[in-house]
Homo-oligomer: A and B are copies of this chain.
Amino acid sequence: MKPNHLIEYYVGIDIGGTNTKIGIVDNHCNILIEHSIKTLSSQGAKQTFSRIWQTVQDMAKTQNIATDQLIGIGLGIPGLVVNQAIISRASNFSWGDNFNAKQLMEEISHKFVKVEKDVNNIALGELLFGSGQGFNNIIVISIGTGLSAGIIIDQKILSGVNGCAGEFGHIVVNENGLKCGCGLTGCLETYASATGILRETKRLILEKQTGILSKHFYHHLSDLEVHHIFDFYNKNDDIAIEVIEKFCKYLAYGLGILLNTIDPELVIFAGGVSKSADLIIQKVKTYLSRYALSASLANIQMKPGQLLDSAGIKGAASLIINDYRI
């Protein structure tokens, strides 16, 4: 066994629009310490990155970890990343297009840094340390405010030339639909996302005013959260059933296209809605045969993610750990 001061650690950072999660992990991706700070991106990238690095150093100190023992830093961001370095577009931040996040963080920390889209990190994390262990070709579906996929081919992240790979939430399903934040109209994620589920449920509550979900939330619409809808689905509420069925049908449509074009071994459901992954998987399966070739469905496996709330940190750290795997 190595003496303590020679053990190597990795930093995983999940930068969100509001909060940034920071973790220090060992080479098995066990989190030794984690911390959440405000991102405050409007102060500028240099400010934010410096504050993050200061936090990492403080965290390391509490664990008696020397800075030298930190091998590298993985960054995850909700935006398009090119060459695991350049944030080409990230609507949550005002850091400009084609911002070299790797370079800035390396200048500040003097550590090796890699940057990826958050869902891609989660996919790598699930592959190495979660539900994807033992697989080579997986897709991780992240359902949250949006809908996107992290694609792993031959154990490698498919980022895409412009960082757009896996953006299946922007399959246009209704040309007369809602304007999407991406600039397109009627994107899949306007239906198949936490945001989409909430919007549709609120609409139906106001329109139908029937059932127990309506009764609970008609006068408190702003209190409605996605987990309530899944709860009331299990209580056979008509509105909840209508919303969840439609959501799963749309999700199956998008997933069917991914199966026909990428043809992986395993699909993992992650993100905020993944707490209901078992139900979603069961429902999605019933619709998938309409949209996916029978050959691509024949051996497909579907699982909930294992990394759950740690997925962001563990995924980001995986970016670095992966380079040091034997």
Report the Cα distance A163→B294, complex, angstroms. 12
Quick check: A299 and B162 within 8 Å, CB to CB? yes
Q: A261 and B262: CB pair below 8 A?
A: yes
A226 within 8 A of B: no
- This protein's copies in its complex: 2
**Contact assessment for B153 and A80 in the assembled complex, using a CB-CB cutoff below 8 Å:** no
Q: Give a binary string over A154-186; 1 marks a CB under 8 Å from any B CB, 0 the rest.
A: 101011111111111011100100000011110
Report how far A258 CA is from B151 CA in the complex, Å.
13
Say yes or no: is A264 at the interface (Cβ < 8 Å to chain B).
Answer: yes
Chain B nearest CB, measured from A184 CB (Å) = 7
When A253-B172, A296-B167 are in contact, do A161 and B290 touch as well, CB less than 8 Å? no
- B261 touching A162, Cβ below 8 Å: no
Tell me, rounded to whole Å, the shortest Cβ–Cβ distance linking A150 to chain B: 12
In the complex with contacts A164-B295, A296-B167, A158-B149 CB distance below 8 A: no
A137 at the interface (CB under 8 A from B): yes
Q: Are A165 and B262 in contact (CB-based, < 8 A)?
A: yes
- Which residues in B have their C-beta under 8 angstroms from that of A170? 260, 293
Closest residue of chain B to A258 (Cβ to Cβ) is B261
Q: Are B182's CB and A161's CB within 8 A?
A: no
Contact of B290 with A260 in the complex, beta carbons under 8 Å = no
- The 5 A-B pairs with the shortest beta carbon distances in the complex, nearest first, are A160-B263, A164-B263, A164-B296, A165-B263, A167-B260
Which residues does A use to contact B, with CB under 8 Å? 80, 88-89, 137, 149, 151, 153-154, 156, 158-168, 170-172, 175, 182-185, 253, 256-265, 290-291, 293-296, 298-299
